[in-house]
Chains A and B, each alone.
Chain A
């Protein structure tokens, strides 16, 4: 099967993000679908596949079917991602396979949630308490930042790294967000600001942690031969790969290297590309140390060198390899499960071009990577312009 170049993203849409109390999670998802279709120059009748993710604020057992019913769609291909992070790109990969296999022609992948406005404090606590192994982890009272802090501490120890290395990731992301009118956090920050923010779970501080938001985004994925008629330049799926290690962090074989190595290798192999070919990357940044580990595992930095990469400004706007060009989960937006979608829509916009001062020069290949669980489940996707086919 030659998945490389056989499907393309022809439509993207982001809803307003941040605090959006006037819209329910379902309404945000619907808005994302309609916006992405308008961007693709298509109508609802052109859609025969729908993929969503479940919402924490308005959960449904059959979420994608619920959204399809709301829209009056009867899709041939319909799937709900149960989680966020890497699962977002996994369902994109699977949608591409469904198109390649002839099951459907045009799939809308739309994800939205109202974590900020639609979730009670109690529900948020329950959500947090339910991460981790109910018998062998949860009784010890770790928080989600706490689980990631275990990785952070191990990283500092393994590479003789400093909290400044984590802070540099937050600063770099904020620099990008300052160029993104849609980003929630647009006030510049310094390393000192990050290090002065309050400790949440040592060594992680408030500004090492991603946002909690409302919002959603969607993409339209279609067969490459249908993409030629779209109003915007198609952005082709060049490669995808998945990798998994553990589920619970206490079962991780390594705390400083992850299955991003596997997902990256598989995606590069499918695309026939190497890390040197990547012009920009969106690397899942739920917490700053995660970015360092992923950069190294994806071959975008040497092992133990990602902190210096960010301290040098190599990932910042105009840097050697711009990372999280929309501001990421740290500074753009993080509505929970749909968070990775904004990395996808941003990558498509970068490869289309014309983003003004935020535009990465000569962008032809974008890498998007996300993980879920606690550094558990990884998916890497490589996207490219027509020139890369």
Chain B
């Protein structure tokens, strides 16, 4: 287990983090306007309709943008330097932040296809991560 930050799970995100524990990434789909969103909310941020439904992400996406962190945010990340922080455009539409792990640094590029994986950070928390599609 690492000293890296754990997400402060709240009542509205519990289902999301529980799904992560079983290796699933949950998005939300609005029954009224069909838009898909990330992160989980109690309403659709496009139209305001309440209770968007959880849907499983396919796990496919592309790198929308990225950076290589050369100076870690805290000591817990020192051993990872240099590490990639990216915005992933999911196949379903929404964007989420992630690291790009287990991938050659020089191959990380905008537009590169990536695949969902998970990083076990604590007994309770499984962090969604992405790696380059080989």
User: A residues within 8 Å of B by Cβ?
Assistant: 125, 128-129, 133-143, 145-146, 149-154, 157, 198-204, 249-252, 255
Contact = CB atoms under 8 A, between A and B. Distances in A.
Interface string B11-43: 001000000000000000000000000110000
Residue among A146, A199, A249, A255 with most chain B CB within 10 A: A146
Contact of A146 (B6, B13, B38, B67): B67
Given A135-B39, A138-B5, A143-B71, 19 more contacts: A134-B5, A135-B9, A139-B4, A139-B5, A141-B72, A142-B97, A143-B69, A143-B72, A146-B67, A146-B69, A146-B85, A150-B67, A154-B64, A199-B68, A201-B68, A202-B68, A203-B67, A250-B87, A250-B96
B73 A129 contact: yes
Contacts of A154: 64-65, 110
Interface in B49-91: 64-74, 76-77, 80, 83, 85-87
B65 A136 contact: no
B7 A135 contact: yes
Interface of B: 4-10, 13, 38-39, 64-74, 76-77, 80, 83, 85-87, 95-99, 110, 121, 127
A146 B73 contact: yes
Contact of B73 (A128, A133, A136, A251): A128
Contacts of B74: 125, 129, 141
Shortest beta-carbon contacts, A-B, top 6? A149-B67, A135-B7, A154-B65, A202-B68, A141-B77, A250-B97
Contacts of B73: 125, 128-129, 141-143, 146
A140 B110 CA distance: 18
A45 to B, nearest CB: 48
A66 B6 CA distance: 35
Given A139-B5, A150-B65, A151-B65, A201 B98 contact: no
Contacts of B6: 139
B68 A137 contact: no
A255 B10 CA distance: 29
Contacts of A137: 97
Contact of A133 (B39, B77, B86): B39
Nearest to A206: B71
Contacts of A255: 64-65, 87
Nearest to B39: A136
A67 B121 CA distance: 44
17 contacts: A133-B39, A134-B8, A136-B38, A137-B97, A139-B127, A140-B98, A141-B69, A141-B72, A141-B76, A141-B83, A141-B99, A143-B73, A153-B66, A154-B110, A199-B68, A250-B95, A250-B97
Contacts of B10: 135
A24 B74 CA distance: 27
A165 B48 CA distance: 41
Contacts of B127: 139-140
A292 to B, nearest CB: 15
Contacts of A129: 5, 73-74
Nearest to A153: B65
Contact of A201 (B4, B5, B70, B97): B70
A151 B110 CA distance: 12
Contacts of A152: 67
Contact of A200 (B7, B38, B70, B76): B70
Contacts of B66: 150, 153
A202 B66 CA distance: 8
Contacts of B77: 141
Nearest to B17: A135
Contacts of A145: 71
A143 B39 CA distance: 21
A146 B73 CA distance: 9
A199 B70 contact: yes
Contacts of A202: 67-68, 70
Contacts of B68: 199, 201-202
Contact of B95 (A133, A157, A204, A251): A251
A150 B76 CA distance: 21
Contacts of A125: 73-74
A153 B39 contact: no
Given A143-B73, A199-B70, A157 B65 contact: yes
A140 B97 contact: yes
Contacts of B8: 134-135
